């Protein structure tokens, strides 16, 4: 049982609402945006394209209907729970047939719980959507410091700490045994759930690998495929991971501008949605404007972009928590969405097998880093097939 001293406190439902004055203030700021000069490089090469952002900001100010999106969000049941003194927000939808496999879904940055909303109906009522496989009771928490979840005020709150909160939350909801899926930081959270709570975790399903396995003395030498993958990763890090360097060292500094300027916030967040998704450079061929702006608006209204970026500081050395004897021994599935980063290929299976007991490895024909929003059908089928086998 959950021995957390806050376990007696209720899980409380709530509705997402932001005052009309907050919406009016957002529109005023958008209309008053001060624009930089145009980059001399080709579009998007030095960052978010000016023409695209000017057009998007104009729509955000005068075309985007927050009230309509708020109604869509509130079509899902939202809850707050106090866990270890921290308020955690989550969406909780039970299986339509009343007999679902408990499944906790963990997002990453620069995303939020909204990424998983398109897949929830497919998981809770697969038959209604033409899918074979089991139904799930779905729990989608907001990572600490994102949207409506608080972030503990301590110098380092890692993915391992978040995993502990998720375990307590699942026990609080009456799920002593459950499955887990994650991407980005959520992949690390899911991994630590399996490492630290293996007696409770049925299996884990990942759509990317966020942790580096231990490769020190006593481990097998890297294969050619692993060497090529790591070299490719390093090239990507050298050319495209500048955002991660600043967020891993000085998130507070960049946070002032992103918290004060909605146009700057959109530029910072949506550049990554474009670069990391399977959109071929055309962001809105994969996601609607309303979907993207709903995510950015949530960061804006909740003022959580800075607290979300602290994940980079706090998890800068999280892979160092893994020692030579650490291994995920619960069944693991990997859904490989190869179009996650520009010029970034898929990891070889042997790289994953250094840390995980891989039972299922699926290379997807399309999709990228935000798989639940890009290819909800593919991801739901793979989740169903994996957990049905368990």
Q: Is the peptide bond before 347 cis (omega within 30 degrees of 0)?
A: no
Question: How high is the pLDDT of residue 9?
Answer: 60
Could you tell me the residue ranges of all domains in the chain? 12-31+45-389
The proportion of the chain whose per-residue pLDDT surpasses 90, expressed as a percent, equals 91
Residue 92 has pLDDT above 80, yes or no: yes
343, pLDDT greater than 60: no
Q: Is 5 a residue whose pLDDT tops 50?
A: no
Stretch 261-284: mean pLDDT: 97
Contact present, 270 and 296 (Cβ < 8 Å): yes
Residue 184 designated active-site: yes
Q: How far apart are CA 304 and CA 259, in angstroms?
A: 8
> What is the DSSP code (8-state) at residue 203?
E
Q: Is 62 a catalytic residue?
A: no
Tokens of 221: 């030498």
Which one from 137, 184, 210, 314 is the annotated catalytic residue? 184
User: 53 falls in which pLDDT band (50, 70, 90)?
Assistant: very high
For 244-258, what is the mean pLDDT?
97
Residues in the chain: 390
Q: In CATH, what number does 12-31+45-389 get?
A: 3.40.50.1820
pTM: 0.96
Say what the pLDDT of residue 129 is.
98
In the block, tokens 């069944």 appear at 331
pLDDT at 340: 81
The C-alpha atoms of residue 84 and residue 35 are separated, in whole angstroms, by: 44
C-alpha distances out from residue 375 to 70, 218, 366, Å: 23, 39, 8
Q: What is the mean pLDDT of residues 11-31?
A: 97
Is pLDDT above 90 for 162? yes
Please answer whether residues 307 and 242 qualify as being in contact, where contact means their C-beta atoms are separated by less than 8 angstroms: no
Residue 373, token pair as written in the block:
């929003």
**What residues contact 122, with CB distance under 8 A and at least 6 apart?**
129, 131, 376, 377, 380
Q: Please tell me which residue in 92, 339, 369, 382 is annotated as part of the active site.
A: 369
Helix ranges, the chain (H): 20-31, 50-62, 66-73, 120-124, 159-172, 185-196, 224-240, 242-249, 251-260, 262-276, 289-302, 305-314, 349-353, 371-374, 376-389
Q: According to the model, what pLDDT value does residue 6 have?
A: 43
51 pLDDT higher than 90: yes
pLDDT at 44 over 70: yes
Label residue 57 exposed, middle or buried (CB < 10 Å: 0-12, 13-18, 19+). buried
From 79, 178, 229, 312, active-site residue: 312
CA distance 65 to 57: 13
| 369 classed as catalytic | yes
């Amino acid at each position: 049982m959950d021995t957390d001293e806050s376990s007696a406190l209720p899980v409380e439902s709530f509705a997402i609402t932001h005052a009309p004055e907050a919406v009016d203030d957002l529109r005023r700021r958008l209309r008053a945006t001060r624009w930089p000069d145009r980059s001399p490089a080709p579009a998007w090469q030095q960052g978010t394209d000016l023409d695209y952002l000017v057009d998007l900001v104009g729509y955000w100010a005068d075309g985007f209907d927050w009230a309509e999106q708020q109604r869509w969000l509130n079509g899902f049941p939202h809850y707050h729970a106090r866990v270890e003194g921290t308020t955690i927000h989550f969406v909780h939808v039970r299986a339509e047939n009343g007999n679902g496999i408990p499944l906790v879904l963990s997002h990453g940055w620069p995303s939020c719980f909204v990424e998983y909303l398109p897949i929830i109906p497919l998981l809770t009522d697969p038959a209604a959507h033409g899918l074979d496989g089991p139904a799930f009771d779905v729990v989608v928490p907001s990572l600490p410091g994102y949207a409506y979840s608080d972030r503990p005020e301590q110098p380092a709150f890692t993915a391992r700490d978040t995993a502990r909160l998720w375990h307590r939350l699942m026990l609080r909801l009456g799920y002593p045994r459950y499955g887990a899926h994650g991407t980005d930081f959520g992949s690390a959270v899911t991994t630590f759930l399996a490492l630290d709570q293996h007696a409770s975790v049925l299996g884990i399903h990942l759509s990317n690998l966020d942790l580096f396995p231990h490769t020190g003395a006593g481990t097998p030498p890297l294969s050619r495929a692993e060497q090529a993958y790591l070299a490719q990763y390093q090239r990507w890090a050298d050319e495209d991971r500048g955002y991660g360097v600043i967020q891993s060292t000085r998130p507070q500094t960049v946070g002032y501008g992103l918290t004060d300027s909605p146009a700057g916030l959109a530029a910072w967040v949506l550049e990554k949605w474009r670069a990391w998704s399977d959109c071929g450079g055309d962001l809105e061929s994969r996601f609607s404007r309303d979907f993207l702006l709903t995510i950015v608006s949530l960061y804006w209204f909740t003022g959580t972009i800075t607290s979300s970026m602290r994940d980079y500081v706090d998890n800068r050395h999280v892979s160092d928590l893994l020692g030579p004897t650490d291994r995920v021994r619960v069944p693991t599935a990997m859904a490989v969405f190869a179009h996650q980063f520009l010029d970034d290929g898929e990891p070889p299976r042997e790289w994953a097998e250094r840390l995980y007991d891989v039972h299922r490895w699926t290379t997807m024909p399309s999709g990228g880093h935000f798989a639940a929003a890009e290819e909800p059908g593919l991801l739901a089928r793979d989740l169903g097939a994996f957990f049905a086998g368990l």
